[in-house]
Amino acid sequence: MIIIGNTFSTIYEIVKKIPRGKVATYGQIALYAGNPRLSQVVGFALHSNPDRENIPCHRVVNRFGDISSSFAFGGENEQRELLLAEGVEFVNQTKVNLEKCLWDGE
């Protein structure tokens, strides 16, 4: 595999490690990446999304478990459907049950 850069690579690796049926927050990923303030960069990394086929960006949500309405790769509804298909519980139309589906970090 080709290492493009430290931050991006790390973020991608972490996102790819998210188990099926669970979700992770930007801050959490940033924390695992090495810096809690990378949360913004995490969003940027996923925004670039060079490997959207291998990177489950739909499993990444903000700190409240709310889906990003600004991006919505295929529409907010699409992301919600993908998460539901993996067994992620929702508390409402755009919010996931972090209590049950939050990634523990392996």
Partner DNA sequence: TTAATGACCTATC
Partner DNA sequence: CGATAGGCCATTA
Catalytic residue positions, numbered: 57
Q: What is the 3-state secondary structure (H, E, C) of the chain?
A: CCCCCHHHHHHHHHHHHCCCCCEEEHHHHHHHHCCHHHHHHHHHHHHHCCCCCCCCHHHEECCCCECCCCCCCCCHHHHHHHHHHCCCCECCCCEECHHHHECCCC
In the bound complex, what is the minimum distance in angstroms from residue 83's beta carbon to DNA?
Answer: 12
One residue of 16, 20, 47, 100 binding DNA per CB under 7 A: 47
C-beta of 20 vs 63, nearer to DNA = 63
Residue 10 binding DNA, by CB under 7 A: no
Residue 23 binding DNA, by CB under 7 A: no
In the region spanning residues 64 to 103, those forming contacts with DNA, defined by CB under 7 A, are 64, 68, 70-71, 73
